[in-house]
Each structure stands twice: as C-alpha cells, then as structure tokens.
Amino acid sequence: MDERAFDLWGLPWADEVSFEELSAHIHPADRDRVRAAFVSTRSVAGPYEIDFRIMLDDEVRWISTRGQGADAGIVDRVMFGIFMDVSGRKQAEEGHELLAGEMSHRVKNLLAIATSITNITSRSATTIEDMAKGLTARLTALGRAHDLVRPLPGREGKAALLGDLLSVLLAPYDDQGAFAGRIRIAVPRMGVGEATATTLAMVIHELATNSAKHGALSANEGTLDVSSDTDDTDICLIWAETGGPAIEAVPDMEGFGSRMISRSMSQQFRGSLSYDWQPTGLVVTLRMRKDRLAA
C-alpha cells in the first residue's frame, strides 16, 4: 500500500501489511462478507468491486475496493488494486433512502389525517356549506403546518416563537364547534431557530398524527394540553392527552415515524423523548437543550 492507503486505514507505515491487519479495522458487520470476497478474488477471474465500512476509533469510513481477481494482470506475483474513500457518496445514499422512507410515511399519514379532519369537521357542521367551509379551513391550516415540516429556501433568522409554531401545527386538529379550545398550549415566550424549527415541527406533526388516528384527537371529547417546564439548561414540553380511547396495552413504538422523531430529538436537540401510557391518556415528555432549540 502507498502512504495514502495507510492514512485511509489509519495504520502506521510498514513495508508489508496483511489482510488480518486490515481486517481488525473492518466493521464487524462487514468483516465476514469482506473476507469471503477476498478469498473469492483468488479463484474468480475478472474485475471485482466491494464496498464496506472500516472503523477508526469512533469514526466510520466507507471504503470501495477494486481490482482484478484470479491472478488477472498480476505482475511478479504482486496483486494490484485500489482503495477509495466513498463515505460522502454512502452518506448521500443513506440520506436519499431516509428521505424516500419519510416521504412515503408522510403521504400515508396525510391521507389518514384528511379522514380524521373530515370527521372532526362533521361534528359541528349543520349544513353542507358549513361542512365545506370548515373542511377547507382545516385543510388550509394543515397545508401551513405541512410547510413547517420541510425546510424552505430563503428563510433566515428565527423561524417563529415556540407558542406560535405549536399553534400553527395543531390548528388543523382543533374543533371549532362544541368542543372549541380542546387543544390548549401554555409555553414560555422563546424563539425557535431556523435550524431546529423543521425538526421540532416534524416531531409535533408526528405526535398529532398519531393522536388523530389512535389517541385523544380521534375522540369526540378528547383534549390535548401542551405545557412546559424549564430549568437553567433544558426545556421540557409535556404533551398530555385525555378523553381518548381506552389504552388496553402499550403500543409498539418501533415504527418508522417513532424511530424518526426519537432520533431527531437525540441528534438535533441533544435531548430525549419518553412515553407514559396513563389510564387517562398518553403523556409524552420532550426534553430539549435551550441552546439547541434557539439555534
């Protein structure tokens, strides 16, 4: 290997390097696959290519290895090939896969939300005209909320006040009829930064969607309270549902949406998200760093 290859693998310079020395740096999940590929290069004629991960302390790199197998092109019994750092390409591919999964998940949610909003509107509408007017207003509010769960170009500075952001996101689910005001929001006056507004909106949007499908917002008399608790470094948002369907068993929270918002809370806010399935309804606690929320 040349100096660039040793640097790529995080190894000190040596006159020779064995496959076993390289294997020690290969990600455990890829090691057997790479070993099998290495063995096959001695028996399968023609070019080969394989991508795998290596670990350098806490850093993970993607490596693409290419060469010729079955002694093809070997000179003086020396095997030739190349190592390429393809970490950027792999991260982009993972990002595209995540985006595709998120978009599929969101489309399914939007269809479910539209059904729920139609049911909510029908409770208070007395005429077809009232029904159409109320449904149009809610779907328009849903569109505004949906805009907040994706980044928009040209937006700068603080995205919104925390209370305003929550109000816009939850407006489509409120009932303007007999149960007007069933969604109550009481949070401190503080700004949400552009870098974090989209992530927070995505989390709230997911919680509201689940509530509209299965929780308090799916029931005629269900209510939702969003309050807060703060200390010197953190802010906790408490999402408390009451009046929804009876909770017979703790639901499985391993779906795409649940994993997505849990990861977002940890990575973006250096915080956490916890569920408390009480007899009266679901209580979700979102803990976030203040400095991360305002970033």
What domains, with CATH codes, occur in the chain?
Answer: 3-85 (no CATH), 91-293 (3.30.565.10)
Of all residues in the chain, what percent carry a pLDDT higher than 70? 77
Q: What pLDDT is attached to residue 75?
A: 60
Q: What pLDDT is attached to residue 242?
A: 93
Whether residue 206 contacts residue 185, with contact meaning beta carbons closer than 8 Å, is answered with no
Which pLDDT band, with edges at 50, 70 and 90, does 155 fall under? Answer: very low
Rounded to an integer, the average pLDDT of 156-166 is 72
Whether residue 146 contacts residue 110, with contact meaning beta carbons closer than 8 Å, is answered with yes
Which range is least confidently modeled, 4-13, 46-55, 172-181, 281-290? 172-181
Q: From 89, 87, 71, select the one nearest 79 (Cα to Cα).
A: 71
Whether residue 40 contacts residue 18, with contact meaning beta carbons closer than 8 Å, is answered with no
Instruction: Measure the CA–CA gap between 249 and 241, rounded to whole angstroms.
Output: 16
Condensed to tens digits (0 to 9), the pLDDT of residues 8-21 reads: 888 888 888 887 88
Those residues whose C-beta lies under 8 Å from the C-beta of residue 32, and which sit 6 or more positions away, are: none
pLDDT at 44 over 50: yes
Ramachandran angles phi, psi of 271, nearest 5°: -125, -155
The side-by-side arrangement of strands in the sheet containing 183-185 is 183-185, 223-230, 234-242, 281-289, 272-278
Condensed to tens digits (0 to 9), the pLDDT of residues 243-281 reads: 988 887 777 766 656 777 788 788 888 889 999 988 889
Whether residue 60 contacts residue 91, with contact meaning beta carbons closer than 8 Å, is answered with no
Whether residue 131 contacts residue 125, with contact meaning beta carbons closer than 8 Å, is answered with yes
Q: What pLDDT is attached to residue 72?
A: 60
pLDDT at 141 over 90: no
Whether residue 73 contacts residue 80, with contact meaning beta carbons closer than 8 Å, is answered with yes
Residues facing 223 on adjacent strands: 242
| One-letter-per-residue 3-state SS of 108-173 | HHHHHHHHHHHHHHHHHCCCHHHHHHHHHHHHHHHHHHHHCCCCCCCCCCEEEEHHHHHHHHHHHH
Instruction: Measure the CA–CA gap between 121 and 107, rounded to whole angstroms.
Output: 21
* DSSP structure string for 20-82: HHHHTTB-HHHHHHHHHHHHHTTTS-EEEEEEEEEEETTEEEEEEEEEEETTTT-BTTB--EE
132 vs 159, more confident: 132
Highest mean pLDDT among 83-92, 110-119, 280-289: 280-289
Condensed to tens digits (0 to 9), the pLDDT of residues 227-241 reads: 999 998 999 999 999
Of all residues in the chain, what percent carry a pLDDT higher than 90? 12
